[in-house]
Amino acid sequence: MSLYDAKFFSSRLLGQNRFFTTAGAVLDIEVKGDNQTLAALYVNELERLLAALPIKDYQIKSLVYGGGINIAVKYPYDLLMVACEILDWVWEDIVDLTDREIPVNFARSVKRFKKIIKENQKVILRKIYAKAQTLKLNFFIYKDLLVLGSGKQQFRAPLNQITKLGDIPWKKIANIPTVLITGTNGKTTTTRLTEFICRKAGLFSGYCSTDWVMINGKSFGEGDLSGPTGHQMVLMHPQLDVAVLEVARGGLVKRGLLPNYVAAATVTNIAYDHIGQNGIETLMDLAEAKGVVYSALADDGIAIVNLDDEYIPQLKITTSKAYLSTKKNAAELTCYLLADNFIVYLEDSLITIATANEVFTLNDIRKIPLTVDGLARYNYENVLHAVALTFALGIEPRAIQRGLRLFGGDAKSNFGRWNHYHSTRHGQLVVDIAHNPAGLTSVLNLAQDYRRLHGLTGKFGLMYGVTADRRETLPEIAKIIADDNIDFVVIKEFQESLRGSELGEMPQQVYDALIAAGYPDAKIKIIPNELEAVQYVLSQAQPADFWMLCTHDLLTDVSRLLRDTVSAEKKAAE
């Protein structure tokens, strides 16, 4: 292919990242060909240019994979946008050289970037960043504000008011306790439960997730805020005692980690998702990318390690580690227990925390609302992650136990995750997310178990869709649906998250995959808009039916429709 057709995008790396422990910039190129040779050519030209510029404190790293190339450069914080421009410029030179045989005008490039560096460098900002690193304080820029530390212990001031290091009260600044949560599935539920336990323990707490930012139970913004923007919003709140931050893969690999020096971090699990993107070709690659959260731990921070996962225990972690397992018993876990850590496990279904000196018995995991009478076994892991994180924060076991008991399995506590609406006219309607094969398998297994437990004999329907960046999972998704005795499928579309696809493209591909898997055409209907799809479901569903409604773009609207439907039925029956 012509390199002119290759998509490329540069971005700043704001903190810990896959390449460096400090800030930098990365260029992501989507290209297929002799990528090793192309990367070597690019790195050679980039090195030649950087060596001729006045900034000598830089480092280059490359990642070559089947679908593209990542080139990263470590550069001074005040010049990160310049670093992005350099990465783009060199790529365009390589494209011209390769596709059109136009020689690189090296003298022009050097002259251009010497001028840009001179115009953009802010040496005082560079010095502040360096001192913040030495003191191990969080550092970021929000609009025209410098922010150091976090929460109630932060310092912030307009950048133009800081002219020397002595303008900053360094001894009064600190980081509040912060936890990072990433993984393939369960991130949002774990984040919400962890923050809830903190709040019920009396801490002024906040969290960000793929849905919103919440500060002490109140919304401070909606949208996918599981990256640097959401992290900033939480960490900057001046009353905050503790921050609980969901970390999504996209932000992690493209922007790095804004918060560092955190108290605890966990990777919930690793399953097939986004393979083939951003240099991630295997599940171990995915584990290592998500495992960057462990690199952001403070010296006394604790890495929570899920022993039930095949890949997470293989990660190289240099800090203290605590362990959890839903499968191993106390005897099997004893070898992991040290003088300065703890383990979390299930003993006859009782959530248990053990240190070298004490054992704390908490709730029966089958009796807390989040596990739906013990049927939602995928939430067992999420519960243990939240227990481990809050215990690492120093919260007393009794307070953790209370939080687990009070966190509801409903829309108020865990919006968009197994939100169950019982309609007298339309049967059982459950809203969930299930965005990948592992997630879909989990919620369908729970649905089938729920139907058996409650003797539901009506039709089992599913509303589902797949995003363009997960199209490679379509054969597996279709097989799961075809093998699970689903009676009817309504295919919806991620109309607000097309991710490179055209309108109508992905629903058709889902349909084609289902037909290829042997699912009957007569049992499929395509209704791209989520709200319209649910309205169709309500027009068809009968009192004995069960519908799993996997909802994303219009979650708030769909939830309101179902809530109003059930409410209207109750009023009519009065």
pLDDT (tens digit per residue) in 34-63: 999 999 999 999 999 999 999 999 999 999
pLDDT at 278 over 90: no
Find the radius of gyration of the CA atoms of the chain.
25
Percent of the chain exceeding pLDDT 70 equals 100
Chain centre distance of CA 452: 33
Give the whole-angstrom CA distance, residue 210 versus residue 231.
11
Largest CA distance in the chain: 83
Instruction: Give the pLDDT mean for 540-569.
Output: 96
Query: Residues of the chain with pLDDT > 90: what percent?
Result: 91
Q: Quick check: 86 pLDDT over 70?
A: yes
Q: Is the pLDDT of residue 402 over 80?
A: yes
Assign 1 a pLDDT band (cuts: 50, 70, 90): low
The residue-averaged pLDDT of 275-292 equals 92
Residue in the block written with tokens 């136009």: 102
Q: Which long-range contacts (CB under 8 A, 24 or more apart) does 365-371 make?
A: 368/404, 368/405, 368/407, 369/407, 369/408, 369/409, 369/410, 369/413, 370/189, 370/193, 370/404, 370/407, 370/408, 370/409, 370/413, 370/414, 371/409
pLDDT in tens, 17-27: 999 999 999 99
Q: Which pLDDT value is given to residue 224?
A: 85
pLDDT higher than 80, residue 274? no
Q: Given phi > 0 = left and psi -120 to 50 = alpha, else beta, which region is 37? A: alpha
Mean pLDDT of 366-382: 96
* Under 8 Å between Cβ of 149 and 138: yes
pLDDT of residue 38: 96
pLDDT given at position 412: 83
pTM over 0.85, yes/no: yes
Are the C-beta atoms of residues 57 and 76 closer than 8 Å to each other? yes
* pLDDT (0 to 100) of residue 399: 98
427 pLDDT above the threshold of 80? yes
With 90 as the cut, is the pLDDT of residue 265 above it? Answer: yes
pLDDT of amino acid 275: 83
Averaged confidence pLDDT in the chain? 95
The whole-number average pLDDT for the span 334-340 is 94
